[in-house]
């Protein structure tokens, strides 16, 4: 019974996230015609047994409050990333989350975190310190893409 209450609470919260995304991206409370597959919410949440979202209702119910907040943060990061891309806005602080993940950094890492991780990995991969040349070149390219400099 307690698990069912938790799932109902999560369903309400997650459905509200859908409304927030629509308000942020389209300034509407309903999905505009033809955009059902384009909303980030569909990629993230699966409230049905046969849904396609990344996070199922059972999985969300098993998370702690802090872990659930992380999922919500990840969701909003993607919503704003999509919003910026659709509106051709230039945004400095939002970096490519995939490249940050390759460095072992969270999606919301700032420039200081990128720089510190780069230095740490540069020591490890530098050929003069016994590292692999190809990995070092890869690291330099990722750092350049994330920061725009070397």
Domains located in the chain, CATH noted: 2-86 (no CATH), 97-147 (1.10.287.110)
Residues 6+ apart with CB under 8 A from 3: 61
Tokens representing 69? 């907040």
**Distance (Å, whole) CA 29 – CA 26:** 8
Tokens representing 83? 């919003």
Displacement of CA 55 from its chain's centroid (Å): 13
Q: Which of 53, 23, 30 is nearest to 40 (CA)?
A: 53
pLDDT value at position 129? Answer: 86
Half-sphere exposure of 20 (CA within 13 A, CB side): 14
pLDDT by 10s per residue, the chain, length 150? 667 888 889 999 999 999 999 888 888 777 767 665 578 998 889 888 766 888 998 899 999 999 999 999 999 988 988 887 777 654 444 557 778 888 988 877 888 888 999 999 999 999 888 888 899 999 999 998 888 765
From the number of C-beta atoms within 10 Å of its C-beta (0-12, 13-18, 19+), residue 40 rates as buried
pLDDT value at position 93? Answer: 45
Tokens representing 139? 């690291």
Give the 3-state secondary structure of residue 45. Answer: strand
pLDDT value at position 12? Answer: 92
pLDDT value at position 88? Answer: 63
Neighbouring CB atoms inside 10 A of 33's CB total 6
CA-CA-CA-CA torsion sign (121, 91, 150, 139): positive
């Amino acid at each position: 019974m307690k698990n069912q209450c938790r799932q109902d609470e999560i369903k309400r919260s997650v459905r509200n996230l859908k409304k927030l995304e629509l308000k942020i991206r389209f300034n509407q409370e309903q999905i505009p015609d033809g955009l059902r597959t384009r909303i980030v919410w569909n990629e993230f949440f699966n409230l049905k047994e046969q849904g396609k979202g990344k996070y199922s209702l059972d999985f969300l119910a098993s998370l702690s409050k802090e872990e659930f907040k992380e999922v919500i943060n990840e969701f909003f990061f993607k919503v704003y990333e999509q919003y910026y891309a659709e509106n051709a806005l230039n945004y400095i602080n939002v970096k490519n989350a995939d490249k940050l993940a390759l460095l072992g950094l969270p999606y919301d890492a700032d420039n200081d975190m990128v720089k510190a991780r780069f230095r740490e990995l540069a020591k490890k991969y530098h050929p003069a310190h016994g590292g692999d040349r190809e990995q070092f070149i890869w690291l330099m390219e990722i750092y350049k893409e994330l920061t725009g400099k070397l």
